[in-house]
Amino acid sequence: MDDTAIKVENLSKTFKLPHEKYSSVKSSFVNFYRKRTYETQKALDDISFEIKKGEFFGIVGRNGSGKSTLLKLIAGIYAPTRGTVTIDGSLTPFIELGVGFNPELTGRENVYLNGALLGFNRKEMRAMYKDIVEFAELEKFMDQKLKNYSSGMQVRLAFSIAIRAHSDILLLDEVLAVGDAAFQQKCYDYFNKLKEEKKTIILVSHSMPIVEKYCDRALLLEDGQLSKIGESDKIAGLYEAMFLKEETKRIENQRNEQKQSDDGPIKIHKVEITQGTKITKNVQAKRNFSINVSLESKVDLEKANVGINIKNRDRIMLVSTDNIEKIGGLKLRKNKKIEIFFDIENILTDGVYIVNIGVADYSPIIPVMLYRKEHVQEFNVSGVGPHAKSLTHPNITVEIDGGK
């Protein structure tokens, strides 16, 4: 057990969910003698893994895959149905920020209460009170009741108390889901500091960039079972692929449904991605690619505008263009199929992208939207190389003046 911080062996957790809750007096009398039936739900099934000391370890998986259950078992909040969790070192007792915060108490009182939950007595809390308040930037609000705080203020306060807990092993469940950008930056700085201090950290997150950035290794849970454990970027990729597969399926279903109700004037025949001469969904990085849209209109249009945009998996728009911007309005003849090619410089980095499309009539003073659809096509980009984690990778030339 020398360099192992957490050892999980054959861990299983089964929940008993009663089929019916007898909430009324009558039903409870009627059902009193009937045996209660349970449905058993296997939240975790035979999980084994080890986390080394000083490791930043991620747990990823979809909602309901058992991530939080696993974290609660490690924290000792749940008792395992089978198997064991062995922990070497002190462990933070909480899995969420601001546990035990009481809205009826003032900020000051909550600091002391929360501190006590972390194991600090009054004297110790008094010594660090000033630092906590300063870090949270809430000096003026400490004598107000917590219920009058904004949620951002509450998180700031909770976070500044939580980081005082000097445990060897920290458990964090989606802490970064809240707070503004400035606060998130503080969290990242804190993470980096923890990494330098060689603390063991377990992070449950939906955000793959964060898992890739901070975690050394990660574990993918799928329906309560350990699907894969390994380097964090590999696991993140796996999770994304899994997610994309489902997303594509969902969109396809949606598209099939939509097809029948498509009764606008515009009909999109197909949207294709080509690179070189090849139609593809796997686009190579740093090489131009093209998005080809073939469509027709049921009516004559004097000045049509076809727009496309490309979004990444976080729904951030990276590329957007239309024909009016580039070549001016488009004349569409009734029921005549046309094809438009958007040739695009590939500044995208590794990842999954979706293509959205819109068609508008620009002949009136105020343009009229005729057609709009999200996710008409998707593709992925690979091969950027070292800087694949940035959002874009434009052409960059480096020159040196003086020196070698």
Residues lying near other proteins in the complex (CB under 8 A): 15, 28, 72, 75-79, 93-96, 99-100, 102, 104-105, 109, 112-113, 115-117, 119-122, 124
Cross-strand partners of 320: 309
| Rounded (5°) CA angle 226-228-233 | 135
For 367, residues 6+ apart whose C-beta sits below 8 A from its C-beta are 305, 360, 361
For 304, counting Cβ atoms within 10 Å of its Cβ (0-12 exposed, 13-18 middle, 19+ buried), the class is: buried
For residues 109 and 168, which CB has a smaller minimum distance to other proteins in the complex?
109
Smallest gap from Cβ 394 to other proteins, in A, equals 45
Minimum Å gap between C-beta 26 and other proteins is 14
CB closer to other proteins, 35 vs 404: 35
Closest Cα to residue 19, out of 8, 4, 34? 34
Report the residue number, 85 or 344, with the smaller CB distance to other proteins: 85
Residue with Cβ nearer other proteins (124 or 240): 124
Q: Which residues on neighbouring strands pair with residue 49, listed in sequence order?
A: 8
What residues pair up with 41 in beta bridges, in sequence order?
15
Nearer to other proteins, 92 or 232 (CB): 92
Smallest distance, other proteins to C-beta of residue 173, A: 9
Q: Which is nearer to other proteins, 113 or 244 (CB)?
A: 113
* 207/219 Cα distance (integer angstroms): 14
CB 239, CB 208: distance < 8 Å: yes
Q: How far is the CB of 144 from other proteins (least distance, A)?
A: 15
Q: Residue 119 CB, nearest distance to other proteins (Å)?
A: 4
Nearest distance from C-beta of residue 390 to other proteins, angstroms? 36
Closest CB 201 distance from other proteins, rounded Å: 17
CB 162 within 8 A of CB 97: yes
Nearest CA among 97, 72, 88, 89 for reference residue 11 = 72
Nearer to other proteins, 155 or 306 (CB): 155
Identify the CA nearest to 74 among candidates 87, 60, 65: 87
71 vs 229, beta carbon nearer other proteins: 71
Which two tokens mark 136?
């949270």
- Ordered DSSP codes for 296-314: EESS-EEEEEEEEEEEETT
| Contact yes or no for 15/81 (Cβ under 8 A) | no
Distance CA(234)–CA(350), nearest Å, equals 13
Shortest Å distance, C-beta 79 to other proteins? 4
CA–CA gap between residue 369 and residue 34 (Å, rounded): 61
Measured from the CB atom, the residue of 2 and 104 that comes closer to other proteins is: 104
| Minimum CB distance to other proteins, residue 102 (Å) | 7
Contact 160, 132 (CB under 8 A): yes
| Residue nearer to other proteins on the CB measure, 169 or 355 | 169
Take residue 242 and report the two structure tokens written for it. 């899994």
Residues 6 or more apart whose Cβ sits within 8 Å of residue 178: 97, 151, 152, 155
Contact 5, 49 (CB under 8 A): no
Smallest gap from Cβ 122 to other proteins, in A, equals: 7
